[in-house]
Protein backbone atom coordinates (compact mmCIF):
# COMPACT_ATOMS: atom_id res chain seq x y z
CA UNK A 1 0.00 0.00 0.00
CA UNK A 2 2.64 2.53 1.04
CA UNK A 3 5.10 1.71 -1.74
CA UNK A 4 8.86 1.34 -1.54
CA UNK A 5 11.73 3.70 -2.28
CA UNK A 6 15.44 3.68 -2.61
CA UNK A 7 17.14 4.07 0.74
CA UNK A 8 18.32 7.53 -0.38
CA UNK A 9 14.79 8.75 -1.16
CA UNK A 10 14.17 12.38 -0.39
CA UNK A 11 11.54 13.30 2.15
CA UNK A 12 9.70 15.16 -0.64
CA UNK A 13 9.19 11.84 -2.45
CA UNK A 14 7.73 10.31 0.69
CA UNK A 15 5.41 13.30 1.19
CA UNK A 16 4.16 13.05 -2.39
CA UNK A 17 3.51 9.32 -2.04
CA UNK A 18 1.51 9.74 1.17
CA UNK A 19 -0.49 12.59 -0.37
CA UNK A 20 -1.19 10.35 -3.37
CA UNK A 21 -2.59 7.68 -1.04
CA UNK A 22 -4.91 10.29 0.50
CA UNK A 23 -6.03 11.58 -2.91
CA UNK A 24 -6.79 8.00 -3.99
CA UNK A 25 -8.68 7.32 -0.73
CA UNK A 26 -6.22 4.63 0.35
CA UNK A 27 -5.76 6.75 3.46
CA UNK A 28 -8.84 8.45 4.88
CA UNK A 29 -9.54 11.07 7.54
CA UNK A 30 -8.87 9.64 10.99
CA UNK A 31 -6.78 6.68 9.77
CA UNK A 32 -3.81 5.78 11.95
CA UNK A 33 -0.44 5.27 10.25
CA UNK A 34 1.81 2.35 11.24
CA UNK A 35 4.48 3.12 13.85
CA UNK A 36 7.47 5.00 12.44
CA UNK A 37 9.80 1.98 12.59
CA UNK A 38 7.31 -0.26 10.80
CA UNK A 39 6.38 2.37 8.22
CA UNK A 40 10.04 3.04 7.38
CA UNK A 41 10.60 -0.70 6.91
CA UNK A 42 7.46 -1.04 4.74
CA UNK A 43 8.51 1.86 2.53
CA UNK A 44 12.20 0.86 2.66
CA UNK A 45 13.31 4.36 3.57
CA UNK A 46 15.51 5.73 6.32
CA UNK A 47 13.78 6.77 9.50
CA UNK A 48 15.27 10.31 9.38
CA UNK A 49 13.80 10.84 5.87
CA UNK A 50 10.45 9.47 6.98
CA UNK A 51 10.48 11.60 10.12
CA UNK A 52 11.19 14.72 8.04
CA UNK A 53 8.32 13.87 5.67
CA UNK A 54 5.89 13.32 8.53
CA UNK A 55 6.94 16.61 10.09
CA UNK A 56 6.22 18.40 6.81
CA UNK A 57 2.79 16.76 6.53
CA UNK A 58 2.10 17.76 10.12
CA UNK A 59 2.89 21.41 9.34
CA UNK A 60 0.48 21.15 6.39
CA UNK A 61 -2.20 19.84 8.80
CA UNK A 62 -2.51 16.66 6.72
CA UNK A 63 -1.45 14.45 9.61
CA UNK A 64 -1.44 14.87 13.38
CA UNK A 65 1.40 13.44 15.44
CA UNK A 66 0.04 12.59 18.89
CA UNK A 67 2.74 11.99 21.44
CA UNK A 68 2.41 8.47 22.83
CA UNK A 69 -0.65 7.72 20.69
CA UNK A 70 0.66 7.54 17.13
CA UNK A 71 0.25 9.44 13.86
CA UNK A 72 -3.18 10.04 12.34
CA UNK A 73 -4.60 11.52 9.15
CA UNK A 74 -6.44 14.69 10.17
CA UNK A 75 -10.06 15.51 9.29
CA UNK A 76 -8.72 17.07 6.05
CA UNK A 77 -11.34 19.81 6.33
CA UNK A 78 -10.65 22.75 3.96
CA UNK A 79 -10.40 25.26 6.82
CA UNK A 80 -7.72 23.14 8.47
CA UNK A 81 -5.69 22.56 5.32
CA UNK A 82 -5.79 26.23 4.33
CA UNK A 83 -4.97 27.69 7.73
CA UNK A 84 -1.40 28.57 6.78
CA UNK A 85 -2.44 30.58 3.73
CA UNK A 86 -2.59 33.67 5.96
CA UNK A 87 1.14 33.87 5.30
CA UNK A 88 0.67 33.87 1.52
CA UNK A 89 -1.77 36.76 1.77
CA UNK A 90 0.56 38.66 4.07
CA UNK A 91 3.25 38.54 1.38
CA UNK A 92 1.20 39.06 -1.75
CA UNK A 93 -1.44 41.74 -2.24
CA UNK A 94 -2.33 40.26 -5.65
CA UNK A 95 -3.62 37.15 -3.88
CA UNK A 96 -6.36 39.26 -2.27
CA UNK A 97 -7.56 40.46 -5.67
CA UNK A 98 -7.48 36.90 -7.04
CA UNK A 99 -9.62 35.87 -4.08
CA UNK A 100 -12.26 38.41 -5.07
CA UNK A 101 -12.15 37.12 -8.64
CA UNK A 102 -12.96 33.66 -7.29
CA UNK A 103 -15.69 35.01 -5.03
CA UNK A 104 -17.29 36.92 -7.95
CA UNK A 105 -17.55 33.65 -9.85
CA UNK A 106 -18.83 31.51 -6.99
CA UNK A 107 -20.95 33.58 -4.62
CA UNK A 108 -23.43 35.25 -7.03
CA UNK A 109 -24.33 31.80 -8.33
CA UNK A 110 -24.63 30.40 -4.82
CA UNK A 111 -26.93 33.17 -3.63
CA UNK A 112 -29.14 32.76 -6.73
CA UNK A 113 -29.50 29.06 -5.93
CA UNK A 114 -30.19 29.91 -2.30
CA UNK A 115 -33.01 32.26 -3.36
CA UNK A 116 -34.87 29.26 -4.78
CA UNK A 117 -34.14 26.87 -1.89
CA UNK A 118 -33.84 28.90 1.30
CA UNK A 119 -36.22 28.23 4.19
CA UNK A 120 -38.02 30.77 6.35
CA UNK A 121 -35.90 29.66 9.29
CA UNK A 122 -32.70 30.34 7.36
CA UNK A 123 -33.96 33.76 6.33
CA UNK A 124 -34.62 34.52 10.00
CA UNK A 125 -31.04 33.47 10.81
CA UNK A 126 -29.70 35.78 8.11
CA UNK A 127 -31.78 38.69 9.38
CA UNK A 128 -30.48 38.11 12.90
CA UNK A 129 -26.94 38.00 11.54
CA UNK A 130 -27.36 41.35 9.75
CA UNK A 131 -28.88 42.98 12.83
CA UNK A 132 -25.97 41.68 14.90
CA UNK A 133 -23.55 43.12 12.36
CA UNK A 134 -25.20 46.52 12.70
CA UNK A 135 -24.68 46.42 16.47
CA UNK A 136 -21.02 45.44 15.95
CA UNK A 137 -20.26 48.01 13.29
CA UNK A 138 -17.34 49.52 15.24
CA UNK A 139 -16.05 46.19 16.58
CA UNK A 140 -14.13 45.14 13.49
CA UNK A 141 -13.12 41.65 14.65
CA UNK A 142 -16.65 40.70 15.76
CA UNK A 143 -18.13 42.29 12.63
CA UNK A 144 -15.86 40.17 10.42
CA UNK A 145 -17.03 37.00 12.19
CA UNK A 146 -20.71 37.94 11.70
CA UNK A 147 -19.98 38.75 8.05
CA UNK A 148 -18.42 35.33 7.49
CA UNK A 149 -21.32 33.63 9.23
CA UNK A 150 -23.76 35.28 6.86
CA UNK A 151 -21.91 34.15 3.75
CA UNK A 152 -21.62 30.62 5.13
CA UNK A 153 -25.37 30.52 5.87
CA UNK A 154 -26.06 31.50 2.26
CA UNK A 155 -23.76 28.75 0.98
CA UNK A 156 -25.59 26.22 3.14
CA UNK A 157 -28.98 27.46 1.92
CA UNK A 158 -27.93 26.78 -1.69
CA UNK A 159 -28.21 23.03 -0.91
CA UNK A 160 -25.21 21.96 -2.98
CA UNK A 161 -22.62 20.09 -0.93
CA UNK A 162 -19.84 20.43 -3.52
CA UNK A 163 -20.23 24.20 -3.84
CA UNK A 164 -20.56 24.49 -0.08
CA UNK A 165 -17.19 22.77 0.30
CA UNK A 166 -15.67 25.12 -2.27
CA UNK A 167 -17.08 28.03 -0.30
CA UNK A 168 -15.65 26.62 2.94
CA UNK A 169 -12.18 26.80 1.44
CA UNK A 170 -12.70 30.32 0.17
CA UNK A 171 -14.15 31.35 3.54
CA UNK A 172 -10.87 30.58 5.26
CA UNK A 173 -9.07 32.87 2.84
CA UNK A 174 -11.87 35.38 3.27
CA UNK A 175 -11.16 35.46 6.98
CA UNK A 176 -7.71 36.81 6.19
CA UNK A 177 -8.93 39.40 3.68
CA UNK A 178 -11.67 40.62 6.04
CA UNK A 179 -9.08 41.46 8.67
CA UNK A 180 -7.59 43.86 6.16
CA UNK A 181 -10.73 45.38 4.64
CA UNK A 182 -13.13 45.55 7.58
CA UNK A 183 -11.28 48.44 9.21
CA UNK A 184 -11.30 50.61 6.09
CA UNK A 185 -13.41 53.78 6.43
CA UNK A 186 -17.06 53.14 5.66
CA UNK A 187 -16.66 49.47 4.73
CA UNK A 188 -18.67 48.07 7.64
CA UNK A 189 -21.59 50.45 7.14
CA UNK A 190 -21.64 49.86 3.39
CA UNK A 191 -21.46 46.10 3.96
CA UNK A 192 -24.50 46.20 6.26
CA UNK A 193 -26.50 48.01 3.55
CA UNK A 194 -25.33 45.47 0.98
CA UNK A 195 -26.27 42.59 3.28
CA UNK A 196 -29.74 44.03 3.79
CA UNK A 197 -30.22 44.12 0.02
CA UNK A 198 -29.05 40.52 -0.31
CA UNK A 199 -31.38 39.29 2.43
CA UNK A 200 -34.31 41.24 0.94
CA UNK A 201 -33.73 39.52 -2.42
CA UNK A 202 -33.53 36.12 -0.73
CA UNK A 203 -36.70 36.82 1.21
CA UNK A 204 -38.43 37.71 -2.06
CA UNK A 205 -37.13 34.44 -3.55
CA UNK A 206 -35.70 36.48 -6.45
CA UNK A 207 -32.57 34.76 -7.85
CA UNK A 208 -31.67 37.57 -10.27
CA UNK A 209 -31.95 40.28 -7.63
CA UNK A 210 -29.97 38.16 -5.16
CA UNK A 211 -27.22 37.55 -7.72
CA UNK A 212 -26.97 41.26 -8.53
CA UNK A 213 -26.99 42.31 -4.86
CA UNK A 214 -24.16 39.89 -4.05
CA UNK A 215 -22.12 41.00 -7.06
CA UNK A 216 -22.47 44.65 -6.08
CA UNK A 217 -21.46 43.84 -2.51
CA UNK A 218 -18.28 42.08 -3.63
CA UNK A 219 -17.46 44.89 -6.04
CA UNK A 220 -17.81 47.50 -3.29
CA UNK A 221 -15.36 45.71 -0.98
CA UNK A 222 -12.98 44.92 -3.83
CA UNK A 223 -12.85 48.59 -4.83
CA UNK A 224 -11.83 49.54 -1.31
CA UNK A 225 -9.18 46.83 -1.28
CA UNK A 226 -7.76 48.01 -4.61
CA UNK A 227 -7.62 51.56 -3.26
CA UNK A 228 -5.78 50.34 -0.14
CA UNK A 229 -3.33 48.32 -2.25
CA UNK A 230 -2.59 51.33 -4.45
CA UNK A 231 -2.03 53.54 -1.40
CA UNK A 232 0.33 50.97 0.12
CA UNK A 233 2.27 50.69 -3.13
CA UNK A 234 2.55 54.48 -3.39
CA UNK A 235 3.72 54.74 0.21
CA UNK A 236 6.38 52.08 -0.27
CA UNK A 237 7.46 53.70 -3.52
CA UNK A 238 7.85 57.05 -1.79
CA UNK A 239 9.85 55.39 0.96
CA UNK A 240 12.25 53.88 -1.55
CA UNK A 241 12.54 57.18 -3.36
CA UNK A 242 13.69 58.83 -0.14
CA UNK A 243 16.41 56.25 0.50
CA UNK A 244 19.88 57.34 -0.65
CA UNK A 245 21.31 55.27 -3.48
CA UNK A 246 24.44 53.21 -2.93
CA UNK A 247 26.25 55.29 -5.53
CA UNK A 248 25.70 58.57 -3.70
CA UNK A 249 25.69 57.33 -0.11
Q: Distance between CA 227 and CA 187 in Å, rounded?
A: 12
Long-range contacts from 46-52, C-beta under 8 angstroms, 24+ separation: 46/7, 46/9, 49/9, 49/10, 49/11, 49/14, 50/11, 50/14, 52/11
Q: Distance between CA 146 and CA 220 in Å, rounded?
A: 18
Domains of the chain: 11-75 (1.10.10.10), 81-229 (1.20.120.530)
- CA–CA distances in Å: residue 55 to residues 24, 49, 51, 145, 171: 21, 10, 6, 32, 27
What's the full length of the chain, in residues? 249
24-70 pLDDT, tens per residue? 889 999 999 999 999 999 988 889 889 999 998 998 889 999 988 99
* Overall pTM surpassing 0.85 (yes/no): no
- Quote the DSSP letter at residue 45: -
Q: What is the pLDDT along the chain (249 residues), one digit of tens a residue?
A: 665 555 445 788 889 899 999 988 899 999 999 999 999 999 888 898 899 999 989 988 899 999 889 999 998 886 677 666 655 555 566 777 788 888 999 999 999 999 999 999 999 999 999 999 999 988 888 898 899 899 999 999 999 998 988 888 777 677 666 766 776 667 889 999 999 999 999 999 999 999 999 999 999 888 877 766 666 556 656 554 434 433 333
Give me the pLDDT at residue 64, please. Answer: 94
Number of Cβ within a 10 Å radius of residue 248: 5
Angle between helices 93-117 and 140-157 (to 10 degrees): 50
Amino acid sequence: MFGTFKKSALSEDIVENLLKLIRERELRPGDKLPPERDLAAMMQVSRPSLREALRALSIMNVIEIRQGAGTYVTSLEPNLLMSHLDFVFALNDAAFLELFEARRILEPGLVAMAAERITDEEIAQLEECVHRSLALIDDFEAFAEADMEMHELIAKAARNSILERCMAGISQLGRVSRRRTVGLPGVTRRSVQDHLAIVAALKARDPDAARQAMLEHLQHVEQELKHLTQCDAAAHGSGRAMEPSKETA
